[in-house]
Amino acid sequence: MKIELIKGDITKIKSDAIVNAANSSLLGGGGVDGAIHRAGGIDILDECRRIRNRQGKCNIGEAVVTTAGNLSAKYVIHTVGPVWNGHEEKESKLLANCYHNSLKLAESLDVKTIAFPNISTGVYRFPKELAGKIAVDEVRNFKSEVIEKVIFVCFDDENELIYKKLLD
């Protein structure tokens, strides 16, 4: 899989699937979640509600898929990152699961390109350097015959710099 780094707003990225850093309610929130629901429109929330009615909340590290509504992507993959509480081993594993399960789901949908935000590094306060390392390791270790390109979308300068170093 090719890996690309883009600085900017994930809702503007051209990609088959974009990943949302959701919360376990799946009912929307701030940050990238708010941006995706605002730009994608009500169809995304409607489908999130249906998923909730079917399976209940989404557990940390897991991923579910909805339409991308008005976005140019085909799918939004919603994954729930861990809140950082300093339990490094446990929370790192959960963050790795977010990337892994999103990639597995994307593969099952025949997705060729997938864009990730920097999951958990906003209000969930995961240390950015560690989160970046986990994201890059997990993507590099995922071998796929289906997915051709993974795009890391960094919104802030700090994450952009971290990913630049990691991907060099």
What distance in Å separates the CA atoms of residue 135 and residue 150, rounded to the nearest whole number?
11
Q: Taking the mean position of all CA atoms in its chain, how far away is CA 9?
A: 13
Minimum CB distance to ligand ADP, residue 143 (Å) = 26
What distance in Å separates the CA atoms of residue 129 and residue 111, rounded to the nearest whole number?
28
Q: Which stretch binds ligand ADP (CB under 6 A): 40-48, 49-57, 63-71, 150-158?
A: 150-158
33 is catalytic: yes
List Cα–Cα distances, 78 to 59, 166, 167, in angstroms.
Answer: 11, 25, 24
Total residues contacting ligand ADP by CB under 6 A comes to: 21
Q: Does 10 bind ligand ADP (CB under 6 A)?
A: yes
Q: Which stretch binds ligand ADP (CB under 6 A): 29-37, 58-66, 70-78, 103-111?
A: 29-37
Catalytic residue among 33, 46, 156, 168: 33
